[in-house]
Amino acid sequence: EPEVTQTPSHQVTQMGQEVILRCVPISNHLYFYWYRQILGQKVEFLVSFYNNEISEKSEIFDDQFSVERPDGSNFTLKIRSTKLEDSAMYFCASRTTGGAGNTIYFGEGSWLTVV
Amino acid sequence: DAKTTQPPSMDCAEGRAANLPCNHSTISGNEYVYWYRQIHSQGPQYIIHGLKNNETNEMASLIITEDRKSSTLILPHATLRDTAVYYCIVSPGTYKYIFGTGTRLKVLA
């Protein structure tokens, strides 16, 4: 069964450093997402991406965050200058088309620890 | 904010059916009801979704009331591996799902 893959599974970074989280969505999918989950809290929407541009973003997704699809397979989330409060699990997700009846599939996550 | 309301926790005996309720009284006519679960801190796993009719797949059944204001996810024979947080989500359209706090299901041996 096709799946969304994410790397790294766990990253520890110093506060103020840049971090790039990588995702390979399911191959025929066109819509891409990033979510995050702070330990013990809800899964929170960050951003959606379609046709090489951001479709929607949440208040969390400020200027420190950016997303990119650098080639035909990868989808990345960059945090420019990490803060302690960026420590969380980050989930990438994808879906095939935009119809309301289609399903979003999630990766297993990248656990980011900022120290 | 999430448009759904779920009980925070439930217990179920192993081998019995687990019935997880969800209220979505403000659901719009074109919104689907999706169910996901999250085991520990793994990625949310898709279970099932539906619009109006009841749905069944190899994992679960989804019962949606006629007025569509509530639904129930049924795991017919719960096992210990079904212990997870279960999320009911209504999707307004193309771009995103909004997760609530879900129901923490504990399957007891």
pLDDT bucket at A96, cuts 50 / 70 / 90: confident
Q: Does B81 touch chain A (CB under 8 A)?
A: no
Residue contacts between A and B (CB atoms, under 8 Å): 63
pLDDT bucket at A45, cuts 50 / 70 / 90: very high
- Closest chain A C-alpha to B65 CA, distance in angstroms: 18
Question: Which neighbouring-strand residues pair with A84?
Answer: none
pLDDT digits 0-9 by tens, B38-64? 998 899 999 999 999 899 999 999 999
Q: Which pLDDT does position A43 carry in this prediction?
A: 95
The answer, yes or no, to whether residue A24 has pLDDT greater than 70, is: yes
Distance separating alpha carbons of residues B69 and A84, to the nearest angstrom: 40
Instruction: Say if CB B43 and CB B20 are below 8 A apart.
Output: no
Average pLDDT over residues A71-100: 91
* DSSP-derived 3-state class of residue B52: coil
Distance separating alpha carbons of residues B27 and B17, to the nearest angstrom: 26
Q: Which pLDDT does position A98 carry in this prediction?
A: 63
Q: Which pLDDT does position A102 carry in this prediction?
A: 80
CB contact under 8 A, A33 and B96: yes
